Amino acid sequence: MSEERIWTAALVVIGDEILSGRTQDRNVAQIALWLNLQGIRLAEVRVVADRTEAIVEAVNALRARNDYLFTTGGIGPTHDDITVDAIAEALGVPVIVHPHARAVLTEYYATRGGLTEARLRMARVPDGAALIENKLSGAPGIRHGNIFIMAGVPHIAAMMLDALSGTLEGGKPLASRTMGCWVAESEVADMLGAAERAFEGVQIGSYPFFRDGRTGANFVIRSTDQTLIDACFAQLAAQLAAAGHDVVDGGI
Amino acid sequence: MSEERIWTAALVVIGDEILSGRTQDRNVAQIALWLNLQGIRLAEVRVVADRTEAIVEAVNALRARNDYLFTTGGIGPTHDDITVDAIAEALGVPVIVHPHARAVLTEYYATRGGLTEARLRMARVPDGAALIENKLSGAPGIRHGNIFIMAGVPHIAAMMLDALSGTLEGGKPLASRTMGCWVAESEVADMLGAAERAFEGVQIGSYPFFRDGRTGANFVIRSTDQTLIDACFAQLAAQLAAAGHDVVDGGI
């Protein structure tokens, strides 16, 4: 596989609690950072409601055009957990009880009141799926082809990501280096644009902030090539300094 | 307009910094909560990269099927701020310099080094747009039909939401009431499902957590009818108590 190939993933966050504003999502940032370590870029995210049609539409649109598709949420034991059924529908396969998931849950609940019918729901998978280990709460995540079905609770999702680390094919991780500067981005916009054009394969993001009554910005230089990043950083920092704006390596 | 009509909005979060995991998004929750106060439901969210085609696709898909479409991010003065151009392309209209935006920026920058060409970028709007006031940093938000183009910096977006408060037509706000319980959701899953079925027009969300080595869950009862919510709450709380699980009104 050429080093030039960019591997992409999409994420479907499933949950009324995110759309209602009740819960602050943590999985987008967590999965983005983890994917980058695997050499995979998070290309797009959709947040959808706990509705079968919404999940089916998002899953089918995104799995076709990305190397990997992750979902978070909706894999618990209650009536609002419909992710497995919706994804099975998207894939056109039946839902089955996975024998190993059943065994894992039987053992996990042996000392916790036993495997009830509600709990057995968490052993249901789209036919053809493999499991993703969940050391924390028993109920496993699910892999089906290029689809990874994860828990919505962020620290359970984190455990599932741990279990997947190093198992997915990816490319070169996107590296980045940040410089902070107490300047209005509008004052140096031309300089930033010119620096990006001067270094092919580099993107520069500009992120303004307002703190303690002062205006500043962080400039994030991204590329798969650290040498390019450092060269771009050095040139831009010198230009900013020459214009009277000292930069803080690592950002403010 | 019937009280039964549900008004919906979608949100497109535009920004490589969210997809890279560098920045934790705050606008989804902020806009969701604000929309609910306006009687509008956030129905779906997409996070897309700073790429014209990605923005155009998301904007055109979502504006057609929701009453309102919000975007955040990409309206600053730098080369990576392409939201206005992308939305103009999606709408099939040219980009113009809005005279009032130009006047606002001229005044704002009068004591801040003057209105440069880069800063003038922030006066550009899709032809036919109105402005959304931004008391904080001069550069206004933009309204074009049912599309609201907001800043990405959360407290600037918050100011723009303030400026819009009470101006959008909506329906009945979705109310909610939460009860917390130190119980595994799997233990009471049947009870929750039955309670939801018993009260038409009520949704019950179940959100498990693990804290201090103990298992618990919050159950969020949502409806546009507070009376229904309270009746459902009372019945479910009584059933949980009868099963030996005391509930905490307001959640844990």
- Here the ipTM equals 0.93
Subunit contact A43:B19, Cβ cutoff 8 A: yes
The alpha carbon of residue B187 is apart from the nearest alpha carbon of chain A, in Å, by 8
Helix (H) or strand (E) holding B59: helix B52-65
Per-residue pLDDT reduced to its tens digit, B168-217: 999 988 899 999 999 999 999 999 999 999 999 999 999 998 888 889 99
The alpha carbon of residue A242 is apart from the nearest alpha carbon of chain B, in Å, by 18
Amino acid present at A190 = D
β-strand partners of A148: A70, A143
Burial of A166: CB neighbours in 10 Å, binned 0-12, 13-18, 19+: exposed
Residues of B in contact with A80 (CB under 8 A): 203-206
Of the candidates A13, A76, A184, which has its C-beta nearest B208's C-beta? A76
A215 is written with which tokens? 């205006």
If we measure between CA atoms, which residue out of A176, A185, A195 comes closest to residue B151? A185
Helix (H) or strand (E) holding B217: strand B214-223
Q: How far is Cα A223 from Cα A244, in angstroms, rounded to an integer?
A: 27
Cα three-residue angle A8-A13-A19, rounded to 5 degrees? 140
The highest-level CATH class for domain A7-164 is: alpha beta
Burial of A102: CB neighbours in 10 Å, binned 0-12, 13-18, 19+: middle
pLDDT at position B47 is 98
A147 is written with which tokens? 């689809």
Residues of B in contact with A118 (CB under 8 A): 186-187, 189-190
CA B204 to chain centre: 21
Subunit contact A23:B193, Cβ cutoff 8 A: no
Q: How far is Cα B170 from Cα A115, in angstroms, rounded to an integer?
A: 45
Of the candidates B19, B24, B189, which has its C-beta nearest A79's C-beta? B189
CATH topology for the B175-249 domain: Alpha-Beta Plaits (3.30.70)
Confidence label for B3 from pLDDT (cuts 50, 70 and 90): low
Confidence label for B1 from pLDDT (cuts 50, 70 and 90): very low
Helix (H) or strand (E) holding A175: strand A175-181
Subunit contact A187:B116, Cβ cutoff 8 A: yes
A33 is written with which tokens? 């950072």
pLDDT at position B211 is 86
Percent residues over pLDDT 70 in chain B: 99
Residues of chain A with CATH 3.40.980.10: 7-164
Backbone angles phi, psi at A204, to 5 degrees: -115, 120
If you average pLDDT over residues B245-250, what whole number do you get?
95
Subunit contact A210:B49, Cβ cutoff 8 A: no
By C-alpha distance, the chain A residue nearest B32 is: A21
Size of the A and B interface in Cβ pairs below 8 Å: 195
Position A2 pLDDT exceeds 80: no
The alpha carbon of residue B39 is apart from the nearest alpha carbon of chain A, in Å, by 12
Per-residue pLDDT reduced to its tens digit, A144-189: 999 999 999 999 999 999 999 999 999 988 899 999 999 999 999 9
Distances from the Cα of A222 to the Cα of A40, B63, B104, B121, angstroms: 14, 32, 34, 24
A100 is written with which tokens? 């190993």
pLDDT at position B2 is 44
The alpha carbon of residue A129 is apart from the nearest alpha carbon of chain B, in Å, by 23
CB atoms within 10 A of CB A228: 17
Of the candidates A80, A118, A209, which has its C-beta nearest B186's C-beta? A118
Position A1 pLDDT exceeds 80: no
Residues of chain A with CATH 3.30.70.260: 175-249
Look-up: residue for tokens 């106060």?
B37
What dihedral do alpha carbons A154, A160, A164, A168 form, nearest 10°?
A: -50
Burial of B249: CB neighbours in 10 Å, binned 0-12, 13-18, 19+: exposed
